[in-house]
Amino acid sequence: MSTAEYTVTGMTCGHCVASVKEEVGAIAGVTDVAVDLSSGRLTIASAAPLPESAVTAAVREAGYTAQPI
C-alpha cells in the first residue's frame, strides 16, 4: 500500500472536489481518494506507488493543477 499527497489549486466548490476524485480514482491501482476543499490537499492510496505524471494528468483532466507535497 502506498500513499501520496498533492496540493490542488483552482478548486472552489464541491463539484470541483468530485471532479478531481473521479479523475484520480480512475487511475489503475488507486484504492482511495480524499480531497479537502479548504486546504486543497489531495490524498491518494494505491496498491503501488503512482507515477507523478499520471496524477497530475488526471487532475489536469478535471481542470485543475496539482503539485506533490
pLDDT tens string for the chain (69 positions)?
A: 999 999 999 999 999 999 999 999 999 999 999 999 999 999 999 999 999 999 999 999 999 999 999
> What is the domain partition of the chain in residue ranges?
2-68
C-alpha grid cell for residue 3?
500513499
CATH number corresponding to 2-68: 3.30.70.100
pTM (two decimals): 0.94
Dihedral angle sign, alpha carbons of residues 28, 35, 54, 23: positive
Pure H helices in 1-69: 14-25, 52-62
